[in-house]
Amino acid sequence: MFALFYIGTAFLTSYATSPTGMQLSRPVVLTTGIIASVFVAAATMASGILSDRFGRKKVIAASCIFAVPWSLVLFPLLSTGTVLAFGIGLTVTLVIFAIAYGPAGALLPELFETRYRYTGAGMGYNLAGVLGGGIVPLLAAQLITSTGGWGIGVLLAAIGVFSIACTVALPNTEKSGLEERPSEPLTEEGTTAV
């Protein structure tokens, strides 16, 4: 769901101040971003707590499910051109991301055996940021000129559907301790014992 984060923080900030976008003043847009970040912080903490109670996959899947319809209404909402519409659009977009982001810090390490945990979690997180999030604003800039906001909404909704499928495919790991994961013993030289 990095796509929502980068659309919210990078693309919408530019779109809101653009002469061909919402034409809002830069101070208003930046102030709105600061206010939205308070909601993002609260949603991140709350979703992390909820993921301990209900499961990481369920909380992340809920975020992805919310993202699909929201993606389709985001740009029609922004087309009204008001500061309130921008505030709601930015805040809800980033809060949906935050709901998935809260449990991610626990989920990613749980997916890997101890000896691969740091590398696996780090690579998964960073590749998701670059491929899942960093490319989307570039595509959005192209789509806004050819299809308007509708094309971006469809792109984000499709990413949401793909994210739901990926989340459902993940193993349930939160009920097992990290020390219970199978791992091959290492020799003194750091190679796998045969």
Q: Residue 77 to residues 71, 153, 155, 170, 191: CA-CA distances in angstroms?
A: 10, 11, 17, 33, 57
pLDDT band at 5 (very low <50, low <70, confident <90, very high): very high
Residue whose C-alpha is closest to residue 132's, from 172, 96, 104, 160: 160
What are the structure tokens assigned to 84, written together?
A: 């309130």
DSSP 5-30: HHIIIIIHHHHHHSTTTT---HHHHH
CATH number for the region 2-168 comes to 1.20.1250.20
The fraction of the chain above a pLDDT of 90, given in percent, is: 75
Where are the domains positioned within the chain? 2-168
- How far apart are the C-alpha atoms of 64 and 85, rounded to whole Å? 22
Are the CB atoms for 104 and 167 separated by under 8 Å? no
CA angle, 102 as apex, 63 and 12 as ends, to 5°? 60
What mean pLDDT, rounded, does the chain reach?
90
CA angle, 173 as apex, 171 and 174 as ends, to 5°? 140
Q: Using one digit for the tens of pLDDT, what is the confidence trace for 49-99?
A: 999 999 999 999 999 999 999 999 999 999 999 999 999 999 999 999 999
The fraction of the chain above a pLDDT of 70, given in percent, is: 89
What are the structure tokens assigned to 149, written together?
A: 């906001």
pLDDT band at 133 (very low <50, low <70, confident <90, very high): confident
Q: Using one digit for the tens of pLDDT, what is the confidence trace for 134-179?
A: 899 999 999 999 998 999 999 999 999 999 999 999 988 766 665 6
Are the CB atoms for 43 and 102 separated by under 8 Å? yes
